[in-house]
Amino acid sequence: MAVDLETSLRLITDQLSLFELPWAFLRRNLSGKYRVTLLGGSGKPFDYLKREPNHRLEDGVYVASDNHLLHVPLLYTDVDLTDIFVANGNFRPGGFEALSYLTDRIQQVDSGPYALPASSLPASSTAPGPVLDVVGSTFSNTPPPISDYVARPKLESELLQLLTDDRHPVVTLAGRGGVGKTSLALEVLQRLAHAGEFFAILWFSARDIDLLEIGPRRVRPDVLTQRDIAKQFVELMDPAGSADREFDCDKFLADAMSGSSSDGPFLFVLDNFETVRDPVDVYNWMDSRIRLPNKILLTSRFREFRADYPIEVGGMSREEFRALATSTAHRLGVAHLLNERFLEDVYEESDGHPYVVKILLGEAVVRKDARSVERVIASREDILDALFERTFSVLSPAAQRVFLTLCSWRSAAPRLAGEAALLRPANERMDVGASLNDLERSSLIEIVGGSSMADQFVRVPVAAAVFGRRKIAVSSSKTAIEADAAILRSFGVIRPSQVGRGIGPRIDSLVRSLAVRAQGGENIADGIAILEFIGRNYPPAWLRLADLYDELPSAFGGVQKALDAVRHYLELDPEDIMGWRRLGDSCAKAGDAVGELHARVQVAESPQASMTDISIAATRFNALAAEGALGVGGDEKRAIAARLRDQLVRYQDEADGTTFSRLAWLALHLGDIEAAREYTVRGLSLERHNRHCRRLAERLGLDPDDDE
Model pTM greater than 0.75?
no
- Give the C-alpha separation, 450 to 503, whole Å: 11
Least confident among 58-72, 93-107, 272-286, 446-460:
446-460
Which residue from 163, 213, 214 is spatially nearest to 191, judged by alpha carbons?
Answer: 163
Residue 373 has pLDDT above 70, yes or no: no
Which residue from 695, 602, 606 is spatially nearest to 621, judged by alpha carbons?
Answer: 602
Which residue from 94, 460, 329, 380 is spatially nearest to 216, judged by alpha carbons?
Answer: 380
Task: Spell out where 149-226 has E strands.
Answer: 170-174, 200-205, 209-212, 215-218
Give the pLDDT band of residue 141 (cuts 50, 70, 90): very high
Between 417 and 292, the higher pLDDT residue: 292
Written in H, E and C, the secondary structure of 421-481 is HHCCCCCCCCCHHHHHHHHHHCCCCEEEECCCHHHEEEECCHHHHHHHHHHHHCCCCHHHH
Using an 8 Å Cβ cutoff, are 649 and 673 in contact?
Answer: no
Using an 8 Å Cβ cutoff, are 305 and 280 in contact?
Answer: yes
Least confident among 231-245, 287-301, 627-641:
627-641
Residue 63 has pLDDT above 90, yes or no: yes
Mean pLDDT of 492-504: 71
pLDDT in tens, 89-108: 888 877 899 999 999 999 99
pLDDT in tens, 438-482: 888 777 888 877 777 777 888 888 778 888 888 888 787 888 888
CB-based burial label for 344 (10 Å; 0-12, 13-18, 19+) = exposed
Give the pLDDT band of residue 30 (cuts 50, 70, 90): confident
Residue 140 pLDDT: 93
- Give the C-alpha separation, 221 to 200, whole Å: 22
SS3 627: helix
Using an 8 Å Cβ cutoff, are 313 and 183 in contact?
Answer: no
Between 279 and 703, the higher pLDDT residue: 279
Most confident of 286-290, 300-304, 630-634: 286-290
DSSP element (H, E) containing 221: none
Give the pLDDT band of residue 554 (cuts 50, 70, 90): low
Mean pLDDT of 669-678: 87
Residue 437 pLDDT: 83
DSSP state for residue 220 in the 8-state scheme:
B
Residue 543 backbone dihedrals phi, psi, to 5 degrees: -70, -35
Between 501 and 46, the higher pLDDT residue: 46
Between 214 and 41, the higher pLDDT residue: 41
Handedness of CA 133, 136, 139, 142 (dihedral sign): negative
- Give the C-alpha separation, 696 to 681, whole Å: 10
Residue 708 has pLDDT above 60, yes or no: no
Percent of all residues in the chain with a pLDDT value above 70, rounded to a whole number: 92
Using an 8 Å Cβ cutoff, are 432 and 418 in contact?
Answer: yes
- Give the C-alpha separation, 329 to 555, whole Å: 62
Residue 162 pLDDT: 93
**Diameter of the chain measured on Cα atoms:** 133
Using an 8 Å Cβ cutoff, are 487 and 514 in contact?
Answer: no
Mean pLDDT of 32-36: 87
pLDDT in tens, 678-695: 888 888 888 888 888 888
Residue 557 pLDDT: 56
Handedness of CA 120, 126, 132, 134 (dihedral sign): positive
Find all residues with CB under 8 Å of 348, minimum gap 6, and list them: none
**Mean pLDDT, rounded, of the chain:** 84
Residue 596 has pLDDT above 80, yes or no: yes
Residue 632 backbone dihedrals phi, psi, to 5 degrees: -130, 160
Which residue from 490, 542, 535 is spatially nearest to 516, judged by alpha carbons?
Answer: 490
- Give the C-alpha separation, 45 to 647, whole Å: 69
Residue 203 has pLDDT above 90, yes or no: yes
Residue 181 pLDDT: 92
- Give the C-alpha separation, 277 to 280, whole Å: 9
What is the number of alpha carbons within 13 Å of residue 592 lying toward its C-beta?
Answer: 16
Rg over CA atoms, the chain: 36
